[in-house]
Structure 1
Amino acid sequence: MRVHLGSDHAGLELKDHLLNWLADNGYEAVDHGPFVFDAVDDYPVFCLRAAEAVAAEQAEGADSLGVVIGGSGNGEQMAANKVIGVRAALVWSEATAVLAREHNDANVISVGGRQHSLEDMTRFVEVFLSTPFSDEERHVRRIAQMGDYEVTRELPPLPASALGGGSDASGSSDSEA
């Protein structure tokens, strides 16, 4: 499996560690930068490239995932999620790493280099990479709704249970004067 990595200065140490860890564990790591420490670098430059590579390779049927890293992981996740076809999850525990894959079929995770130990973050990445998507119908349906919205920009219809009280799907009441 190919794993694309992108970070900012706050994630550089973890990214460099992961490059070695991935190689030692049979993964093909692709480094999208940064390559040197720059305290004022911009994470979108690197995280968008990593996410774009994952989306492109998955669209071609390749086995590819991504990891983006920053101080908190928040901005890096936001950047990755701007790429069509990417479902990036902020991971802060083994449980969130598992759920990102099992329930959301996340193809990129974001971790906060200033939030956890190197060992913990490595474990989160390991769990993410080794956990398969569940393929449960409810999760497939939800992912399809997000994918459809990403392409059409049309909201999915509200379920009947959300319409209670005589409102239609637009939120209008049946008894407007």
Structure 2
Amino acid sequence: MLIAIGSDHTGVYYKHLINNFLIKKGYKIKDFGFSKYGKIVDYTDFIHPTAEFVAKGKANFGIVICGSGNGAAITANKYKEIRAALVWEKKIAFLARKHNNANIISLPARFLDKNKILEIIEIFFKTDFEGGRHQIRIEKIPIN
């Protein structure tokens, strides 16, 4: 499974942590994220290519990270094919996949610790979409 990941400066540490965690579990990573410490960058410059890669079907899922997770989620959700979920709790990760079939997880770097973020990632990727009534709702999301 191929995972695209992108982050701004606030997500550099977590991006590296997640990359190493997923690689050890056998995932492949396409890294669009910023990689230097100490410089401030615009999250949009890293989230757009990540979301576009997933939207085009080149990756199974995506991970985007910024300070609050909001800017990253808003940016990713500009793509019609993307369902990015802002996740800060394990139960939300579960429901984002199970009920919303989220294909990108947006993480708030300023509000998570390293243990919780890895648990959230693991739940997100291990949870299957339930379909049924949830599929009907997902089909109603796009306006174009």
Q: Which residue of 2 aligns with 1:50?
A: 50
Question: Which protein is bigger by CA-based radius of gyration?
Answer: 1
Q: 1:17-44 deviations in whole A, cap 9, x for unaligned? A: 1111110001111100212235320001
1:56: Cα distance to partner? 0.6
Instruction: Give the secondary-structure state (helix, strand or coil) at the position aligned to 1:114.
Output: helix
Q: Which residue of 1 aligns with 2:99?
A: 103
Contact 2:76 2:84 in 1 (8 A): yes
Q: Which residue of 2 aligns with 1:78?
A: 74
- Paired residues in the alignment total 144
1:73: Cα distance to partner? 0.6
Flag the 1:80–1:38 CA change in 2: closer, same or farther, 3 A: farther
The CA distance in 1 between the partners of 2:128 and 2:104, in whole Å, is 13
Structure 1 stretches of 4+ with a deviation exceeding 3 A read none
Instruction: Give the secondary-structure state (helix, strand or coil) at the position aligned to 1:111.
Output: strand
Q: Which residue of 1 aligns with 2:128?
A: 132
- Consecutive unaligned residues of structure 2, counting only runs of 5 or more, are none
Q: 1:67-119 deviations in whole A, cap 9, x for unaligned? A: 10111111111111111200000001110000000100000010111101111
Q: TM-score, normalised by structure 2?
A: 0.95
1:63: Cα distance to partner? 6.1
Q: Which residue of 2 aligns with 1:39?
A: 39
Letter of the 2:97 counterpart: R
Q: TM-score, normalised by structure 1?
A: 0.78
